[in-house]
Amino acid sequence: MSAQKFEKRRAKVIRQFRQHEVDGLLVTNEKNVSYLTGFSGEDSYLLLNKKQAVLLSDSRFTTQIEEECPDLKTCIRGPRQNMSGMISQLVNQSETSNLAIESSSMTVQALEGLKSVLKNTHLKPVSEMVENIRLIKDREEISKIKEAVVQAERGFESMKASLIGTDTELQVAHQLEHWMRRFGASGNSFSPIIAVGERSALPHARPTYGLISGSGFLLVDWGADHESGYKSDLTRMIVTGKVSSKLEKVYRLVLKANEKAIQAVRAGVRCCDVDSVARKIIENGGYGKKFGHGLGHGLGLDVHEGPRVGPTSETVLEPGMIITIEPGIYLPGWGGVRIEDDILVTKEGYEVLSSIPKGWDTVRIGI
Amino acid sequence: MSAQKFEKRRAKVIRQFRQHEVDGLLVTNEKNVSYLTGFSGEDSYLLLNKKQAVLLSDSRFTTQIEEECPDLKTCIRGPRQNMSGMISQLVNQSETSNLAIESSSMTVQALEGLKSVLKNTHLKPVSEMVENIRLIKDREEISKIKEAVVQAERGFESMKASLIGTDTELQVAHQLEHWMRRFGASGNSFSPIIAVGERSALPHARPTYGLISGSGFLLVDWGADHESGYKSDLTRMIVTGKVSSKLEKVYRLVLKANEKAIQAVRAGVRCCDVDSVARKIIENGGYGKKFGHGLGHGLGLDVHEGPRVGPTSETVLEPGMIITIEPGIYLPGWGGVRIEDDILVTKEGYEVLSSIPKGWDTVRIGI
């Protein structure tokens, strides 16, 4: 990406300074640093004020910074200088009197350390100054998330094609990551959920040594981490055994909720109203109390980011937001069904980024 | 592990209350919660005071808590109650007036949230109250770390046996994780460093699409994550091409530093004195300025934890500490050599937990 793009992003942050009554921001959240500079390493901060942007890092990253953000002013600290010392030097030079810090990522200890060296600067905890901008994805971000979706989907299809009944949940998890890497992913975007039978009723089940043929179906919730850091997040069901009428009924209901909610996505609509479309369908089907989580969430450099798509989220959808739509029904002791897609909000409506078939007739496999 | 074991660990924390002038501790660091309770899930806190220990979690983890810590008092919050609300209720009931919080993991935002609901309780940022206890490993912890070492070593030997010259650094990284999982690991204990030729001079090189046969040697720094959460961390060199006399000279020097430093490990010795043994050998060999990091670090639930083993670390080694010994020499533009083992400190001296051969005659492979 061009240096101008990052400069524009930083300008959007700076425009929020007045509202927060600050004249600078210390960006410490790694994803936010990356978003505002293009630098993908760790342990590095961005000091931003109206005059300049300075990346603070150490000698491990000198080469990487030259490659990733050659136009950015950089301070590399020596082995005997600590980060606080470098920050205080720069802040004092820049005459920043009210410096915002990112309260949702900075630890109490780090803030105490900063306060002890920045005696003439007021440190003001703020949140979401960068996250607010990250809500809307630009063309390059969208294209990377699309690639992350393709990596996840090709990985899933390859894993599914090669399943055998003696595979365990853990083996499937490992195979899935292996295949996604083959298609270019750095790895999982989160620890995948591979949950057979009644384990699929646990929203955060971890893969076990249980056989995937141990029950009639399994839930797979997974995603790819693109090398740029952008993520995908999908859920599909796989039916391996005899089809029960209960499974078919629950599946078709969740699918309807998924499809109708996707069709409700459009710029100008509130997130809670999209959630409500899915929730009403599941309620009318008699499973209202068995859909215990929000409908979805934003997706980007973090696999969970804004906007929240839940019953109380008043956020209005805007073109360029990318969200998951993932209704589910969970019946303890029996199992759960969830179907999740990644959706781009457009001016006219929506674009479904994911494409793995989800019709009831596509879910059964012979193993 | 038995419930008594966790109770004893919690008692060790409580004994530090007086020194910190507090009558309770809110444990928010996930590893610390796990260490004090046996619970391995996320997003759960432990509230500890002289009267009781209460695990605060949500309904996703009800079943898991019953399995992992059935004897522990637990509060599960409902979908409409937030963590702060639950904490304030319990703290007020327990009449805690000075509550310690873990300043090195709690965010500024989380502390602000707590302060707003705990108006009658003084919140005191402290650090290392649990980490101090974690320094010394008990028999079960040692046995799990030994298993994590075996997983890493068997994974490495399998990966090494199956190397071909057309493998890329990334493929080797993936193969390594694949093999470690086969031997029972949950995965990597950190993103492995697979660095060919001059890339091995970068202490934090990420695997690339570069061929492993692209230069005469590669550095592999990797570890296994045992399902219990305990980690291993090792480094070995692999020579794939013509052996240069420079490589042999540097390798033998690093090996000598590694071996002599290990022999210096013993309860009662300061960490800086162990560091110094390796550092002097490398200095005397003429590469003193090319060994730019500390000699090692503690290893446990975190892959980097106390004690720090560096030139300024006055910590005295005690039986039950587990540390890495990892001297290195880095020559920009040419490459780096590092050799790393995991060492248990014993009363009499040390036990080397890792066993992959490291003699100069063992490093060359034909590919």
In chain A, where are the structural domains located?
Answer: 3-134, 139-362
pLDDT of residue A77: 86
In this predicted structure, which of A136-145, A207-216, A261-270, B223-232 has the lowest mean pLDDT?
A: A207-216
Task: Work out the average pLDDT over B97-105.
Answer: 96
pLDDT of residue B242: 85
In this predicted structure, which of A29-43, B64-78, B230-244 has the lowest mean pLDDT?
A: B64-78
Q: Residue B297: which H helix or E strand, with range?
A: strand B296-298
Would you say A242 and A225 are in contact if contact means Cβ atoms under 8 Å apart?
no
Query: Cα–Cα distances in Å, from A77 out to A49, A90, B161, B330, B351?
Result: 20, 12, 41, 19, 37
How far does B128 lie from chain A, in Å, by closest CA? Answer: 11
How far does B2 lie from chain A, in Å, by closest CA? Answer: 23
Check CB contact of B60 with chain A, cutoff 8 Å. yes
DSSP codes joined into one string, B304-339? SEEEEESTT--PBP-TT-EEEE--EEEETTTEEEE-
pLDDT of residue A132: 95
* Alpha carbon distance A170, B186 (integer Å): 9
pLDDT at A1 over 70: no
pLDDT at A69 over 80: yes
pTM: 0.89
Residue of A nearest to B112 (CA): A103
Q: Chains A, B: CB contacts under 8 A, how many?
A: 61
pLDDT of residue A139: 96
In this predicted structure, which of A209-223, B38-52, B72-86, B292-306 has the lowest mean pLDDT?
A: B72-86
pLDDT in tens, A287-318: 999 998 899 999 999 999 999 999 999 999 99
Which residues are CB-neighbours of B284 under 8 A, at least 6 positions away? Answer: none
* Residue of A62, A99, A107 to mutate for B, most B C-beta atoms under 10 A: A107
pLDDT in tens, B142-198: 999 999 999 999 999 999 999 999 999 999 999 999 999 999 999 999 999 999 999
Contacts of A112 in chain B (CB under 8 A): 103, 125
Highest-confidence range of A225-234, B63-72, B87-96, by mean pLDDT?
A225-234
Q: Using alpha carbons, select from A300, A262, A295, A254 the residue that is nearest to residue A276.
A: A295
> Do strands B24-27 and B98-102 pair parallel, antiparallel, or not at all (unpaired)?
parallel
DSSP codes joined into one string, A259-306? HHHHHT--TT-BHHHHHHHHHHHHHHTT-GGG--S-SEEE-SSSSSEE
Check CB contact of B181 with chain A, cutoff 8 Å. yes
CATH code matching the domain that covers A139-362, chosen among 3.40.50.2300, 3.40.190.10, 3.90.230.10, 3.30.1300.10:
3.90.230.10
Cβ <8 Å between A111 and B112 = no
pLDDT of residue B1: 66
pLDDT at B202 over 90: no
Check CB contact of B123 with chain A, cutoff 8 Å. no
pLDDT tier, B39 (very low <50, low <70, confident <90, very high otherwise): very high
Residue with the larger pLDDT of the pair A63 and B175: B175
Task: Work out the average pLDDT over A72-80.
Answer: 85
pLDDT tier, A67 (very low <50, low <70, confident <90, very high otherwise): confident
pLDDT tier, B4 (very low <50, low <70, confident <90, very high otherwise): very high
Check CB contact of A109 with chain B, cutoff 8 Å. yes
Which residues are CB-neighbours of B366 under 8 A, at least 6 positions away? Answer: none
Cβ <8 Å between A60 and B203 = yes
ipTM (interface predicted TM): 0.84
pLDDT at B77 over 90: no
Q: Using CB atoms, which residue from B41, B125, B178 is nearest to A112? A: B125
pLDDT tier, B78 (very low <50, low <70, confident <90, very high otherwise): confident
Would you say A149 and A353 are in contact if contact means Cβ atoms under 8 Å apart?
yes
How far does A203 lie from chain B, in Å, by closest CA? Answer: 7
pLDDT in tens, B9-24: 999 999 999 999 999 9
* Alpha carbon distance B286, B271 (integer Å): 23
Neighbours of B139 (CB within 10 A): 8
Contacts of B116 in chain A (CB under 8 A): none
Cβ <8 Å between B125 and A105 = no
**Both ends of chain A: CA-CA distance in Å?**
45
pLDDT at A60 over 90: no
**Which CATH homologous superfamily contains domain A3-134?**
Creatinase/prolidase N-terminal domain (3.40.350.10)
pLDDT at B351 over 70: yes
pLDDT at A80 over 80: no
pLDDT at B255 over 70: yes
pLDDT of residue A299: 98
Contacts of A104 in chain B (CB under 8 A): 107-109
pLDDT at A17 over 90: yes
pLDDT at A144 over 90: yes
pLDDT tier, A79 (very low <50, low <70, confident <90, very high otherwise): low
Query: Locate tokens 């090398």: which residue?
Result: A227
* Alpha carbon distance B232, A279 (integer Å): 46
Residue with the larger pLDDT of the pair B26 and A204: B26
* Alpha carbon distance A258, A252 (integer Å): 10
B-proximal residues of A, 210-249, CB under 8 Å: none
* Residue of B26, B107, B175, B177 to mutate for A, most A C-beta atoms under 10 A: B107
pLDDT at B28 over 80: yes
pLDDT of residue A81: 78
Would you say A46 and A7 are in contact if contact means Cβ atoms under 8 Å apart?
no
How far does A348 lie from chain B, in Å, by closest CA? Answer: 35
pLDDT of residue B336: 95
Task: Work out the average pLDDT over A260-273.
Answer: 98
Check CB contact of A101 with chain B, cutoff 8 Å. yes
Task: Work out the average pLDDT over A111-122.
Answer: 94
pLDDT at A49 over 80: yes
Cβ <8 Å between B106 and A108 = yes
Task: Work out the average pLDDT over B195-211.
Answer: 90
Cβ <8 Å between B178 and A174 = yes
Task: Work out the average pLDDT over A64-81.
Answer: 86
Would you say B248 and B360 are in contact if contact means Cβ atoms under 8 Å apart?
yes
* Alpha carbon distance B366, B242 (integer Å): 10
* Alpha carbon distance B340, B346 (integer Å): 19
Task: Work out the average pLDDT over A224-239.
Answer: 97
> Do strands A53-58 and A73-77 pair parallel, antiparallel, or not at all (unpaired)?
parallel
* Alpha carbon distance A118, B2 (integer Å): 47
Residue of A nearest to B42 (CA): A204
pLDDT tier, A253 (very low <50, low <70, confident <90, very high otherwise): very high
Check CB contact of A106 with chain B, cutoff 8 Å. yes
Cβ <8 Å between A125 and B108 = yes
* Alpha carbon distance B43, B28 (integer Å): 8
Check CB contact of A127 with chain B, cutoff 8 Å. yes
Q: Using CB atoms, which residue from A108, A202, A292 is nearest to B111? A: A108
DSSP codes joined into one string, B173-238? HHHHHHHHHHTT--EESSPPEEEEGGGGGSTTPPP-S-BTTSSSEEEEEE-EE-TTS-B--EEEEE
pLDDT tier, A264 (very low <50, low <70, confident <90, very high otherwise): very high
pLDDT tier, B367 (very low <50, low <70, confident <90, very high otherwise): confident
pLDDT in tens, A323-343: 999 999 999 899 999 999 999
Cβ <8 Å between B181 and A202 = no
pLDDT of residue A305: 97
Contacts of B204 in chain A (CB under 8 A): 41-42, 60-61
pLDDT of residue B79: 65
Q: Using CB atoms, which residue from A101, A174, A202 is nearest to B63? A: A202
Q: Across chain A, what does the average pLDDT equal?
A: 94
